[in-house]
Structure 1
Amino acid sequence: MVDEIVWVVGDEAILRSDVETQRLYMQNEGQRFDGDPYCIIPEQIAIQKLYLNQAKIDSIDVSESQVLRSVDQWINMAINQVGGREKLEEYFNKKLSQIKEERKTMVREQQIVQEMQKKLVGKIKLTPSDVRHYFQNVPQDSLPMIPATVEVQIVTLEPKIPFEETDAIKARLREFTEQVNNGKMEFSTLARLYSQDPASASRGGEMGFVGKSSLVPEFANVAFNLTDPKRVSNIVETEYGYHIIQLIEKRGDRINCRHILLRPKVSDRELEEATARLDSIYTDIEAGKLTFEDAATYLSADKDTRNNKGLMVNQNYESSHVGTPKFEMQELPQDISKVVYGMKPGDISKPFRMLTDKQREVVAIVKLKARTDSHRANLADDYQVMKTMVENHKREELLNDWITKQQKTTYVRIADGWRNCDFKFPGWIKK
């Protein structure tokens, strides 16, 4: 049997192939199944059908551009993850165009469901007494453990790049441009051989469809002004290094292009000179001639922290501390984590070398501003974390109640062989 209907929810059918496709996507994203996937996935799809049906009634929709942006980001990430377009097609046993269409439908439905959930729940308003009352009734040993966190300030200096080095890089990129424009070499071949952007080099420099806001301004301004896919841009300097760009395709407010990135090499001599300059700053701070905060504000090359007296901010969107100065040790860049590990609050490190998130080699000193040890969650230290927990609990309660009510008024049929499950919501099977 090529396919079969395994569930019917209202007037919507769930096919065996729907379940298999969802299982492959979840597996590709590293999600683990807490139970039988052939029980878990159909129930998840059925719940989604309930939300989508209500969204139709309430005329809830999402913008096409928002869907396409998410699809392009996922396709680019998936290609990087499996090691190429061909391998992605092999994994799903489908052409890339089919994968994109499937993913587009999935993303649109996911986004509509999220909007529907927001409407059903509304804005949850909690007072401090609500949060206190909730946690007074929770057994202490079931409160979450809050991992140890640190707050770190940083000062960095960038080594001077000799003019000879930048001139040599520009000459090499001009040579690449000439080879492409003369038809001697393909841009994609040169990107695979020489580009220092590992994420795109393996794909011949191809970046995938992105919007202007996803690119640094200097790169975006040149890329979005390209019109001839056969020509190569002038050299573009960004914080990542030096690029040349080739247009592949424009689609509305998004663009797909190839690029070759070359980064200037920093010699040991320049690194030693930068280290000596920073060591002098460190000595002045230790002698009380200069505060760490002033050094960060007026001397640091780190533009992300110098307006904040050197204080680093957590940009990991998967972290519960995102947008705050708190970092769990594994969330810090490895070079910084190794230095901070043995420090006490108020300690300042000696100069050390590190790679920035732009893959530039710099020298740095750090100050440990604060350290909070691992502990059981409490209202005094972790109010915001606990408030979020109560909001999530309240939200889940409201949505679970809504699903239970919908089950009672929605026609559901489950095929033989798919019913013997320990469902999260047992009301699917009417007694």
Structure 2
Amino acid sequence: MALFKKTILFVGLFGSILFGAKAQDNVIDQIVWVVGDEAILKSDVEGVRMQMQLEKERFDGDPYCLIPEQLAVQKLFLHQAKVDSIDVDNTNVTRTVDRRISNAISSLGSQEKLEEYLGKTISQLREEWREQVRDNEIVNKVQQKLVGNVKLTPAEIRNYYTQLPQDSLPFIPTTVEVEIITMNPKVPQAEIDAVKNKLRDFTDRVNKKETDFATLALLYSEDTESAKRGGELGFMGRAQLVPEFANAAFMLNDPLKVSNIVESEYGFHIIQLIEKRGDRVNVRHILLKPNIPTEELSKTTARMDSLTQDLNAKKFTFEEAASYISADKDTRNNKGLMVNKNDYSTYAGTSRFRMEDLPQEVARVVDKLAVGELSKPFTMLGSNGKQTVAIVKVRQRVDAHKANLSDDYQVMKSIVEGKKREEVLKKWVQDKIKATYVRIDDDWKNCDFQHTGWIK
């Protein structure tokens, strides 16, 4: 069979990308926008559209107007990143891509269906999405730099609030402040021994080259996210790992060897080195957690029930019990008060939670409690993924209401500063459009664009 090289030809500024001698019969792509010296292809737009459909994102308008404009704005920010020498850590990019691929496979049911839907192999998608994610993170960094100095005084926030019509005030959902005490069931030594024996068996099978470490991780690891990647964690520094795990991971030097069994707050691990880069390491691991017998859960629930009776009898306060008894290290030093750590929440970093911000098991119990009332003991998964028995008390509840400055200053501050940042970024984009060469294919001009000045 004769081998030949296909030649890519660009026909005109807005011509199609063609292959081979009979190019006119094999149109596969088209340049629809040009921003500076960067082209936006029809395939770029289609790729984003299909990905948004896959991820069930809603189109707020015509996707063939919305998407190319978003890509054009992105190119303005990416050009600024080059000017400012802004780059991002590839570790976070890889993690985001892995998570996106896992979610896409879960959504469609299999890797094969994902490849069929998008018409690309997983390796092709990984490379394409890596570039997309990297660009998005760079754009975020540029935007953060542009709006980093946006700070408003309390007077400016009050002024904004007083000028808002009542029907424009945001609706604030019910929020609560919750105190918690947890107690961990005792794990029988027999269960610990069973887990260790299983991990030793895995190590033996890997050392004898009977089974690949990644395959065992995929099949058996109880760290469900990394298990999808064959146990791989991606490059991490010591501070990103719990101390016991970090010590073992950074001591590994031979990718063919498996670590000794490592115990951490999450359970028991074995670790295999993939690669070291300076002060970062990429490893894969298998995590197993000992089973907690039903009778041990029952015993712990009974002890927690006795504690609840003592609290109701006022033998000591909930805060005192949390400080001395609670197994949860995150709240123990805070006298039991839970802190909202959800990055997406308006109340992140505070003690206020919307119901959807709380752990599911806690939210179910809190929803039925009055302020100051103690719950009955219930079972939940702790932050380390292990079963624990808990009791909670609602310290404060603020019912759903229209925003006001006395109860919702932080919310109003976030809203006002967010609007100010939007104004700064919108002005920056408008100024860049004026100073940048832009051409749009005639068939793609009939749009109600979010920014003005594209068509010159």
The answer to whether TM tops 0.5 is: yes
Any runs of at least 4 consecutive aligned residues in structure 1 with deviations exceeding 6 A, and if so which? 84-87
Aligned twin of 2:316 = 290
State whether residues 67 and 107 of structure 1, in contact with CA within 8 Å, keep that contact through their aligned partners in structure 2. no
Q: 2:94 aligns with which of 72, 91, 98?
A: 72
* Conserved? CA contact 1:145–1:374, under 8 Å: yes
Between the aligned partners of 1:46 and 1:262, the Cα distance in structure 2 is 47
The 3-state SS of whatever aligns with 1:428 is coil
8 Å Cα contact 1:314/1:324 also seen in 2? yes
Match of 1:62 among 58, 61, 86: 86
Deviations 1:76-125 (A, max 9, x none): 21232125766665554445554444344434433443343344445123
C-alpha distance in structure 2 between counterparts of 1:77 and 1:118, whole Å: 24
Q: For residues 89 and 61 of structure 1, do their structure 2 counterparts lie closer, same or farther at Cα, with a shift above 3 Å needed?
A: farther
Q: Give a deviation string over 1:6-30, Cα, whole Å, max 9, x none.
A: 1112232222222233334444444
Matched, 1:53 2:90: no
Aligned-pair CA distance for 1:210: 4.1
> 127-136 or 339-348: which moved more?
127-136
Residue-by-residue CA offset, 1:363-417 (whole Å, 9 max, x unaligned): 1111110101011111121111111111111221222223223333332210021
1:182-230 per-residue CA deviation (whole Å, 9 max, x = no partner) reads: 2233323333443223323344433444444433222222123222222
Distance in 2 of aligned mates of 1:229 and 1:116: 38
Q: Could you tell me whether the CA contact under 8 Å between 2:86 and 2:142 is conserved in 1?
A: no
* Aligned equivalent of 1:44: 70
Alpha-carbon spacing, 1:327–1:121, altered in 2? closer, same or farther (3 Å)? closer
1:155 and 1:366 in contact (8 A); partners too = yes
Question: Does the CA contact (< 8 Å) of 1:62 and 1:111 recur in 2?
Answer: no
Is the CA contact (8 Å cut-off) linking 1:153 and 1:367 kept in structure 2?
yes
* Counterpart pick for 1:354 among 380, 385, 402: 380
Pick the aligned partner of 2:293 from 267, 275, 295.
Answer: 267
Match of 2:48, SS? helix
Which shifted more, 190-199 or 380-389? 190-199
Residue equivalent to 2:273: 247
CA distance in 2, matches of 1:254, 1:21: 34
1:156 to 160, 178, 182: 182
Instruction: Pick from 15, 25, 28 the counterpart of residue 2 of structure 1.
Output: 28
Are residue 18 (structure 1) and residue 44 (structure 2) matched? yes
Distance 1:52 1:207 in 2: 29
Q: What number of residue pairs does the alignment pair up?
A: 426
Alpha carbons 1:296, 1:306 under 8 Å: kept: yes
SS of 2:333 mapped into structure 1: helix
Does structure 2 retain, via aligned residues, the 8 Å contact 1:244–1:261?
Answer: yes
Contact kept? 2:180, 2:338, Cα under 8 Å: yes
Residues 153, 427 of structure 1: CA spacing in aligned structure 2 closer, same or farther, 3 A cutoff?
same
**Any idea what the Cα deviations from partners look like across 1:153-180, whole Å, max 9, x if unmatched?**
0111111111122122212211221122
Compute the TM-score of the two structures, normalised by the length of structure 1. 0.91
Pairs within 5 Å for 1:228-247: 228-247=254-273
**Could you say if the C-alpha distance between residues 216 and 44 of structure 1 is closer, same or farther in structure 2, counting changes exceeding 3 Å?**
same
SS, match of residue 218 in structure 1: helix
Whole-angstrom distance in 1 between the partners of 2:288 and 2:144: 45
Structure 1 stretch displaced more, 307-316 or 336-345: 336-345
3-state SS, counterpart of residue 39 of structure 2: strand
**Could you tell me which amino acid in structure 2 is paired with residue 62 of structure 1?**
I
TM-score (norm 2): 0.86
| SS of residue matched to 2:329 | coil
**Aligned-partner Cα distance in 2 for 1:33–1:395:** 23
Give the 3 Å change call, closer, same or farther, for CA 182–125 of structure 1 in structure 2: closer
* 1:304 alignment partner, SS class: helix
Gaps of 5+ in 1: none
Q: Report the residue type matching 2:326 in the other structure.
A: S
1:36 maps to amino acid: D
Match of 2:393 among 332, 356, 367: 367
Q: Bigger CA drift: 121-130 or 383-392?
A: 121-130
Note if contact 2:339-2:351 (Cα within 8 Å) is conserved in structure 1: yes
For residues 379-390 of structure 1, the aligned pairs below 5 Å read: 379-390=405-416
Question: CA offsets, 1:235-275, max 9 Å, x none?
Answer: 01111111112223345554443322221111122112212
Query: C-alpha distance in 1, partners of 2:151/2:228?
Result: 49
- Aligned pairs for 1:29-428 (under 5 A) are 29-56=55-82, 59-63=83-87, 66-81=88-103, 82-83=105-106, 92-428=118-454
Between 298-307 and 99-108, the greater mean CA deviation after superposition: 99-108
TM-aligned CA distance change 1:144 to 1:330, over 3 Å: same
- SS of the residue corresponding to residue 187 of structure 2 reads coil
Q: CA deviation at 1:294?
A: 0.6
| Contact 2:171-2:402 at 8 Å conserved across structures | yes
1:70–1:107 CA contact under 8 A, matched in 2: no
Secondary structure class of the residue paired with 1:368: strand
Q: Is the 8 A contact 2:96 2:133 kept in 1?
A: no
3-state SS of the aligned residue for 2:283? strand
Q: Is contact 2:301-2:377 (8 Å) kept?
A: yes
Question: CA-atom RMSD, angstroms?
Answer: 2.3
Which sits farther off after the overlay, 279-288 or 145-154? Answer: 279-288
SS in 1 for 2:251: coil
CA distance in 1 between counterparts of 2:188 and 2:249 reads: 28
